[in-house]
Structure 1
Amino acid sequence: MSDACSIPGLTVPRSRFTAPEQDLTETGNESRVVLAGGCFWCVEAVYLAVDGVTRVESGYAGGSADTANYEAVCTGQTGHAEVVDVHYDPSRVSFGELLQLFFSVAHDPTQLNRQGNDIGTQYRSAIFYQTDEQRQVADAYIRQLNQAGVYTDPVVTRLEPLDAFYPAEGYHQNFAARNPGQPYVMAAALPKVEKLASAWPEKLKSRQGPDDTDPA
């Protein structure tokens, strides 16, 4: 990771990011979505702070098992993207609400195959959908944002089927929380969490407990 990463939304008011006009109707107490938005340290840090998110794991998706490791993925030649596997309670936060934060806080969806100074297909913006319903809702929201002109440039987020999720190495898990003084974390990850807190305070966890934190 390089030492700088753009922070979306700082010049775009929250009011521009309207809720998705379509959303999933989900039952049960756990669902998941796999998202790619540049450095997984940053995206993980954002979602760990969101109320209703029960677990977040950094990893890789889009390539094969034999190249699902950090050294290989960093070459940009594996097909993998750095992703986060977000588990959530749909009675507390919806798929659409998680997408709203993905596009407004977690990353800049107008940057093609990069996030700030992190350049390569491994840093692409993508939603790895598990069902056709997830794909439809995500596609509709991308069109909604583009039609509203939320960003000056079009959203370039890709929709890719989730063939497999491969967990990243242990030292990557919960990285920002465990390394708050690390230069990249201070420059890129923590400002996004601060943006979440200032723009979407009602989305924050009100407590930290066994079910609300990543165990790594």
Structure 2
Amino acid sequence: MSRSQFSRLALCAAALGALAISAVAIAPSLAAEDAVVIPAPAMDAKAADGIQTVVVAGGCFWGVQGVFQHTAGIVNAVSGYAGGSKATASYETVSTGTTGHAESVEIKYDPKKISYGKILQIFFSVAHDPTQLNRQGPDSGTQYRSAIFTTSDEQQKVTDAYIAQLNAAKVYRKPIVTKVGPLQGFFPAEAYHQDYLTLHPSQPYIAYNDIPKVENLKKLFADNYQDKPTLVSSAKVTN
């Protein structure tokens, strides 16, 4: 089911009461595809000084943001839009699939606490399925494509090398379709989209599709997992 379908389901659930609670309780065991165990990048970026930025897109930004908000070393993860112009960077317009945007997450990270390569490994392993073209799980359209918008030549080189490494290792059943290119602009999404996973953990779409991603992060990347998420509403970014 898509987010719009789950929204309608949520309204029905409110009326069904106990039935809805039961459905949400079993949701994590029914949903989200299993994470893929993948090797770390053979090439990684150097640990630069100061906070670094990369923007990633992997389907609905609620789940991707939630994963990285639970990742240690991430100082802020903001849901938004990349790949199109500022003039059309609104949820209703982007949802038409005609603006060129992808639902994205701007990740600001401390390279002394987490490397760029580790962010890529988490992104390709638990945050989304990089082999799905112009869709992710129940959502379809170019706005749900897999993409990485880099902010340096080094990020571009490391990303390209890692994708080649994973394709050569055949860790997925199909080739990676993630598009990689320089960031032209990032536009934060509306306030109600921020911190969505944390604020609405029992919302059916989140329970089915996104909570399992955070559980996989905790399971596969225990050293990088933090139980308390770094929320947009409380993040402190100095640069």
Task: Kindly provide the CA deviation profile for residues 82-132 of structure 1, in whole angstroms up to 9, marking residues without a partner as x.
Answer: 000011110010000000000000000000000012000000000001112
Within a 5 Å distance, the mapping from 1:100-139 to structure 2 comes to: 100-139=121-160
> How big is the shift at 1:5?
7.0
Which of 190, 193, 196 matches 1:172?
193
| Residue in structure 1 matched with residue 212 of structure 2 by the alignment | 191
Aligned-pair Cα RMSD in Å: 1.6
Between 163-172 and 127-136, report the one with greater CA deviation: 127-136
Secondary structure in 1 aligned to 2:211?
A: helix
Which consecutive unaligned segments of at least 5 residues does structure 2 have? 7-29, 235-239
Q: Does 2:33 correspond to 1:7?
A: yes
Are the structure 2 counterparts of residues 25 and 159 from structure 1 closer, same or farther at C-alpha, using a change threshold of 3 Å? Answer: same
Give the TM-score taking structure 1 as reference length. 0.92
Which consecutive unaligned segments of at least 5 residues does structure 1 have?
A: none
Partner of 1:215: 233
User: Which of 35, 38, 52 in structure 1 is aligned with 2:73?
Assistant: 52
- TM-score normalised over the length of structure 2: 0.83
Give me the whole-angstrom Cα distance separating, in 2, the residues matched to 1:5 and 1:37: 17
Tell me how far apart the structure 2 counterparts of residues 128 and 106 of structure 1 sit (CA, whole Å).
16
* Distance of 1:83 and 1:186 partners within structure 2: 20
Question: For the pair shown, which has the larger CA radius of gyration, 1 or 2?
Answer: 2
Instruction: Give the secondary structure class of the aligned counterpart of 1:187.
Output: helix
Question: What is the rounded CA distance, in whole Å, between the counterparts of 1:85 and 1:157 in structure 2?
Answer: 16
Superposition deviation, residue 79 in structure 1: 0.2
SS of equivalent to 1:29:
coil
- Per the TM alignment, residue 29 of structure 1 is displaced from its structure 2 partner at its CA by 3.3
Contact persistence 2:70–2:228 (CA under 8 A): no
Question: Aligned in 2, Cα 1:8/1:130: closer, same or farther, shift over 3 Å?
Answer: farther
